[in-house]
Amino acid sequence: MSSYEIADEPSPEAGWENLVFPPSAPLLSMMWCGAWLAWPWFIVNARAMGSPTLRHEAKLVAAGLFGSLLLAFTIFTLVDAGVIESRVALQFALLAVTTLKLGVAYTVSAVQSRTYAIYQYYGGSSQRAFYVLMVGSYVRALVLGMSAHPIWLAVMS
């Protein structure tokens, strides 16, 4: 006897039901707290919902992490080489890292939104992100203070 299954229907992970948040929550955490909180949160959220696009979302997060690392490394190499000389030029260059991280977070949020809509349609519930964001805003200084290296700060902030 075979069962009926929709290809993109979420199959929530048992025991993870209390970890489902709207995809806008990790996106907001990228803007408010930084990548250190947002990217792992996207993956946990996808797993908790049982997202059929979990691998795709994880690849996007990994691309965002490695892309921002590469971009930050390149920028600071250019600073060391004397190509980027002024503080203003450095700030504009680092804006590219921020743009990359926000673009990846928006893309993952858009991909995850489809699964979240189906998850909610079939009766799934989600949590409010207020407390996670509040804790994240307090922990942010500790996480970013783990290293004073500018690449760490550029990628994790």
Q: Give CA–CA dist 51/20, Å, rounded.
A: 11
Instruction: Tell whether 2 is covered by a domain.
Output: no
Q: Is residue 13 part of a domain?
A: no
Query: Mean pLDDT lowest for which of 10-19, 46-55, 83-92, 142-151?
Result: 10-19
Enclosing domain of residue 81? 26-43+52-156
**5/90: higher pLDDT:** 90
Q: What is the pTM of this model?
A: 0.88
Q: Is residue 7 part of a domain?
A: no
Asked if residue 36 is part of any domain, the answer here is: yes
Tally the domains of the chain: 1
Rounded average pLDDT over 50-68:
96
pLDDT over 70 (residue 4): no
1 located within any domain: no
Residue 71 in tokens: 């971009």
Phi-psi region of 34 (alpha: psi -120 to 50; beta: other; left: phi over 0): left
